[in-house]
Amino acid sequence: MINKKNISRFLLFVLIFFILSFITIIFVGCTKEIDYTYLVNKNYISTNTNIFTDKLGITSLKPKTDKDFKILQLTDIHIGYGPFTTKKDKKALEAVCNLIENTNPDLIILTGDVVFPVSIFTGNNDNLAALKAVANVIDKYKTPWTMCFGNHDAESFAKYSKTELCEYLESQSLDYCIFQRGPDTIDGMGNQIINIYNFDNSYNSSIFLFDNGMYYGESQISGYQEITDSQVQWYSQNIEKLYSHFNQIPISYVFYHVPGLEYKYAWEAYKNNDENVKYFFGYANEKNEKISSPNNLGSFYETMMNLQSTKAIFCGHDHFNDFSLEYYGVRYTYSKSIDYTAYAFQGIANKTEQRGGTVLSLKGVNTTQNNIFDIYSIKLTDIN
């Protein structure tokens, strides 16, 4: 027997969808350009990190003083840049400014879903305009910064492709963006290496960024793509290259958007009191403790464990998860998110506990302390 109540709900949903779609069609393309750089504190003093290309041809950074080198991870900012999200965008960029000004980082890394070009929620699908709004704010802090792509930054319904976003990020219009799209012989765009040097010019460690914000098919329904074999091969070759040049196993840290399946394994091991897990902070706060990882582990995990270089991995994507666990010697950390828009049905605009950022602090930054690091999260409400 047909449930009339369910049919009524479905018809109501269809009606709302078409109404919102009609409104969206009217508003798309009518968004006024908004300059949010006024949110930046004019008295802010950057750490003035040295940016240079080292002998390996890799973009590299070095502090100007003998101090801890701080990397600020910001994730899932989700700027809509449309008429439906103006107030939320302002709040999100205020959060970005507060986090940067509070931490005074040497490097800023955005781990995907910087923008949210979903017209039905934002009234705009211009992902390039949205990205420019964020980039212009961050660049004002005169601090090296880069990003990897998430699953929403250049989805099929967005106005601009990932290639076009890369062209902007690599352009002369940004003074402090050190983004590189990476080799075109491997999957994804934005696969990048950054070398960190000590104050005394010795090598400290390397940052690897992966574009893993990809789907198996055209949309989120198809599931997430694990780090592919071509990306793993690129990672492995560069670890070996660093090892050969510096005559030591390089210390490395990995940043990407979608959590790998190893995040799920680490969380399940923690819940089962596995002795191979060490808890640091946070929790899997998504509904039913969900971890939205690919279904396949891929070859990255085994390669990473065999090479013994990577000490910590950082991701975003699940906006309520914020845990940090060490699993078989590798630290897995979810950054707190910034989103005010994408999780609309979960009421995220009015929630506060999950909003913030994450800091990776390389301790000392000198030849005797190049394998000591600290990771901690910053809750936005603690600095407002």
Q: What is the pLDDT of residue 33?
A: 82
**pLDDT tens, position by position, 282-324:** 999 999 999 999 999 999 999 999 999 999 999 999 999 999 9
Print the domain residue range for 241.
Answer: 31-382
**Confidence band (pLDDT; 50, 70, 90) for 14?**
very low
In a domain, residue 326? The reply is yes
In a domain, residue 19? The reply is no
**pLDDT tens, position by position, 241-270:** 999 999 999 999 999 999 999 999 999 999
Per-residue pLDDT for 223 more than 60? yes
Tokens standing for residue 88: 């939320």
Cβ(129)–Cβ(137) under 8 Å? no
Taking residues 90-100, report their average pLDDT.
98
In a domain, residue 4? The reply is no
**Which of 67-71, 314-318, 333-337 has the lowest average pLDDT?**
67-71
Cβ(77)–Cβ(98) under 8 Å? no
- Report the share of the chain in percent with pLDDT over 90: 80
List the one residue out of 52, 66, 147, 107 whose CA is nearest residue 370: 66
Report the number of distinct structural domains present in the chain.
1
Q: What is the pLDDT of residue 366?
A: 59
Per-residue pLDDT for 2 more than 60? no
Q: What is the pLDDT of residue 26?
A: 43
In a domain, residue 378? The reply is yes
List the one residue out of 380, 373, 294, 366 whose CA is nearest residue 336: 380
Q: What is the pLDDT of residue 383?
A: 83
In a domain, residue 8? The reply is no
Distance of CA 352 to the CA centre of its chain: 19
Partnered with residue 310 across adjacent β-strands are 252
In a domain, residue 21? The reply is no
Q: What share of the chain is helix, strand, coil (3-state, %, to 5)?
A: 30, 20, 45
In a domain, residue 153? The reply is yes
Q: Say which CATH number the domain at 305 has.
A: 3.60.21.10
The sign one gets for the Cα dihedral 107, 382, 349, 101 is negative
Mean of all residue pLDDT scores within the chain: 90
In a domain, residue 10? The reply is no
Give the torsion through C-alpha atoms of 169, 174, 180, 181, to 10 deg.
10
Query: DSSP class of residue 201?
Result: S
pTM for the model stands at: 0.91
